[in-house]
Amino acid sequence: MTPRRQRMVLIALVVCGVGLSAVLALRAFQENLLFFFSPTQVAEGEAPTDRTFRLGGLVLEDSVQREPGSLTVSFVVTDYAHSMPVSYTGVLPDLFGESQGVIARGRLDPAGGFVAEEVLAKHDENYMPPEVADALAQAESQASE
């Protein structure tokens, strides 16, 4: 094989390797991408049923129920247009409470509820996650129409 042909084969192998790396990186990124949905979007069927996503809204007043002797908590997340029951087993953030903004990461269960793997609460009285604020504003504008 001539030196020119060897360089061409080497260049072709490098280009194939870079292309394969890019495809694998994009595939891994797509699998780990988490989308945010409001309870209204989940009720309309926009949320995936087979993968993890984030659910955000406000914890409905008087909806927090703790199972005695366990770390399991159930509560309802609402955007004032629709509500979604959520169950979570674990330690809740200190700032978690009723009528507070919350984002839960998890997936839908077959019964139509949401099983959270992680629950995030707002970090001060003035902050609300932007996704939650947008979803609440959109639900309020649809309700007033």
Q: What CATH number has the domain spanning 36-144?
A: 2.40.50.140
AA identity, residue 14: V
- The domains of the chain are located at 1-33, 36-144
- pTM, to two decimals: 0.67
Average pLDDT over residues 2-31: 87
Pairing of strands 36-37, 53-59: parallel
Q: Which of 39-53, 75-89, 116-130 has the lowest mean pLDDT?
A: 116-130
Dist CA 96 CA 123 (whole Å): 9
Two tokens, residue 114: 């949401």
